[in-house]
Amino acid sequence: MYAYAVRRILSTIPVMAVVALFVFSLLYVAPGDPAAIIAGDQATPADVERIRASLGLDRPFLIRFGEWLWRVLHGDLGQSIFTNLPVTHMIAQRIEPTLSLMSLTMIISIGCAVPMGVLAAYKHGTWIDRVVMIMAVAGFSVPVFVVGYVLAYTFALELDVLPVQGYTPIANGVGPWLANLALPAVTLGSAFTALIARITRATMLEVLSQDYVRTARSKGVDQRDILFVHALKNAAVPIVTIIGLGVAGLIGGSVVTESVFAIPGVGRLVVDAILRRDYPVIQGVILMFSFIYVLVNLTVDLLYTVFDPRIRY
């Protein structure tokens, strides 16, 4: 298995190379000009041209790509065109809020969705099953920003129990950290919870109809053990797959959630960078997200061996 893990990690190199070329090329052909944004609305066309030249944006594609790739290979993601800060520094500033948000979202979502799905499968056809499915449909259907604004209005403005916006680092206290992330995590997790609940219910229904489950029941095994030890373990592989795929959705969803709740995360960083055409930041963040996603997929594949001993690499 270790050899498999090493092989998978090494295989990220060509994947990242393709991502790097694709991202750089896309930005090169996309409309927009950071020089025009730096210069500001009142600047003259000549000013914009001078700034563009000073940034080296008038150089040929291959030269610019080669220089950037060389720096990336040495761990240097470059500097922001606007702030002159290293891209790695800007990402480091923002990574804690995003990871905190995503982690808490996953804990809340998985913690709620799996039991909901198990319950719905166990109570298949009853009102409990229907309520869970209605909630799942609602979670899919309502846009993230609507959920966010409704929660902020209810819990922050009306009830005044949680803040509207902002982020408190965990070093400043777990209580304030949780308070700032509670609404964003529930917001971001609404669709994720719905997805996991539905998949859990579907796979559990399939597993609960298997012969060995009937055998376990007839042998007098406790219903809780049947559900959470025998059945859920066998239903876990698709659930883990969906959770891994859902991480990509969380990364995208974090952009909207971070904007709604003014969380200074990587999602907002990349949106701001795109609007400003801050090329080094865009390239650096996309490379980072791509690498994270590759690692998540690897983790999911390795987790299969935990849930299903038959799977060996």
Nearer Cβ to other proteins (272/308): 272
- 33 CB-side CA count, 13 A: 17
Nearer Cβ to other proteins (33/76): 33
Element (H, E) at 290: helix 279-307
* 175 sits near other proteins (criterion: CB under 8 A): yes
Residues 51-80 that bind other proteins (CB under 8 A): 51, 53-55, 80
Least separation in angstroms between CB 64 and other proteins: 17
Sequence-distant contacts of 54-57: CB under 8 A, at least 24 apart: 55/81, 57/33
* 159 sits near other proteins (criterion: CB under 8 A): yes
CA distance linking residue 215 with residue 164, whole number of Å: 52
Nearer Cβ to other proteins (238/264): 264
Tokens linked to 93: 């500033």
Q: Give the torsion through C-alpha atoms of 245, 254, 270, 89, to 10 deg.
A: -100
Q: Which stretch binds other proteins (CB under 8 A): 3-11, 173-181, 185-193, 235-243?
A: 173-181
Number of residues binding to other proteins, judged by CB under 8 A: 65
Least separation in angstroms between CB 4 and other proteins: 37
* 90 sits near other proteins (criterion: CB under 8 A): yes
- The letter for the amino acid at 22 is F
Q: Which stretch binds other proteins (CB under 8 A): 29-37, 135-143, 199-207, 214-222?
A: 29-37
Q: Helix-strand-coil percent breakdown of the chain, rounded to 5?
A: 80, 0, 20
Q: Which stretch binds other proteins (CB under 8 A): 28-36, 122-130, 185-193, 299-307?
A: 28-36
Least separation in angstroms between CB 90 and other proteins: 7
Nearer Cβ to other proteins (278/301): 278
Q: Which stretch binds other proteins (CB under 8 A): 126-134, 166-174, 200-208, 305-313?
A: 166-174
Residues 32-51 that bind other proteins (CB under 8 A): 32-34, 36-51
Binding mask 272-311 for other proteins (x = CB under 8 A): x--xxxx---------------------------------
* 83 sits near other proteins (criterion: CB under 8 A): yes
Pair 233, 309: CB distance under 8 Å: no
3-state SS assignment for residue 86? strand
Binding site for other proteins (CB under 8 A): 31-34, 36-51, 53-55, 80, 82-85, 90, 93-94, 149, 152-153, 156-157, 159-166, 170-176, 178-179, 259-262, 264, 268-269, 272, 275-278
